[in-house]
Amino acid sequence: MAVSIGQLGKWKEQRRPIVALTAWDYAISSILDAAGIDIILVGDSLAMVALGYPNTLPITLDAMIHHASAVSRGVKQALMVCDLPFLTYQESLSQAIHSAGRILKEAGVQGVKLEGGYPLIVETISHLTTIGIPVMGHIGLTPQSVHRLGYRQQGKSPEEANRLIREALQLEGAGVFALVLEHIPSDLAEEITSKLSIPTIGIGAGPFCDGQVLVTADLLGLTPKQPPFATPYANLRDTITLAVNDFAGDVREGKFNPDKT
Ligand code: KIV
């Protein structure tokens, strides 16, 4: 059965961990979906892992819709969520409605993710959820704020931790259906998770969240450099390099015969 937003809340009640991974094209999403991944996120990290940008800021709404459309063609079961890229929701409420609406209508995903928990974003999210646009929140390390925050762990001081707890509660009040907690201390993630009735999805936030998400390119060892909290489960860079070198060697040495299968 296809994963619904309502199902996520039930899984939290049942303490059934939620598994989320990112995808940026049809090939990857069809593999993740067939493997039974619960949430497939078209994260704007694709700007870095698929398009080679130095951070997530340059990606456009059109590019996200292009990739999310390809991802959705490979998905039959998973819940699909797509990031709203930098400066496609912060300017005004009407900009946020327009951007989120385009993603839902054109890419066929079920929800959008917005970064941040400051008052303006909480207000925007409250409007989006009121008009029927499902929203996933994202606090802690928010990569769209890289020039202000860097990629440092967030929530280390008591003041920062209290702010993040406050933001999590306000985002829940604004109607988010789940909340990504990125790169915050494990005990803080545990405290936030215990205070919310919506599921938390951690990345670099310890084992006590209701679910975990990873950037699939990091999981597969496709990225040349991974964040410290990413856990590679394969080394596809080496596997691909080996296959490419074998093929090139066979062609150069006259050993490659396309008719021989
Ligand atoms: O863009 C992304 O891939 C994300 C995940 C790291 C949660 O936001």
The predicted structure's pLDDT at residue 227: 87
3-state SS track over 186-198: HHHHHHHHHHCCC
> Which phi and psi angles does 140 have, rounded to 5°?
95, -130
H or E, element range at 119? helix 119-130
- Residue 51 CA, ligand 1 centroid: distance in Å: 15
The predicted structure's pLDDT at residue 259: 84
Q: By C-alpha distance, which of 100, 81, 87, 3 is closest to 43? A: 81
Domain ranges of the chain: 5-252
The predicted structure's pLDDT at residue 174: 98
The predicted structure's pLDDT at residue 261: 58
The predicted structure's pLDDT at residue 225: 83
Residues with Cβ within 8 Å of 60's Cβ and at least 6 positions away in sequence, in order, are 85, 88
The predicted structure's pLDDT at residue 258: 86
**Residue-wise pLDDT tens for the chain (261 aa)?**
899 999 999 999 999 999 999 999 999 999 999 999 999 999 999 999 999 999 999 999 999 999 999 999 999 999 999 999 999 999 999 999 999 999 999 999 999 999 999 999 999 999 999 999 999 999 999 999 999 999 999 999 999 999 999 999 999 999 999 999 999 999 999 999 999 999 999 999 999 999 999 999 999 999 988 888 898 999 999 999 999 999 999 999 999 988 875
Q: Is the CB of 203 under 6 A from ligand 1?
A: yes
Assigned CATH for 5-252: 3.20.20.60
Residues with Cβ within 8 Å of 175's Cβ and at least 6 positions away in sequence, in order, are 125, 126, 129, 130, 135
The predicted structure's pLDDT at residue 119: 97
Q: Is the CB of 23 under 6 A from ligand 1?
A: no
**For residue 25, is it left (φ>0), alpha (ψ between -120 and 50) or beta?**
beta
Contact between residue 41 and residue 81 where contact means Cβ atoms under 8 Å apart? yes
- Residue 44 CA, ligand 1 centroid: distance in Å: 6
Mutate to test the pocket of ligand 1, among 57, 213, 220, 226 (most ligand atoms within 8 A of CB): 213
CA 23 to CA 10: how far, in whole Å? Answer: 25
CA 55 to CA 87: how far, in whole Å? Answer: 14
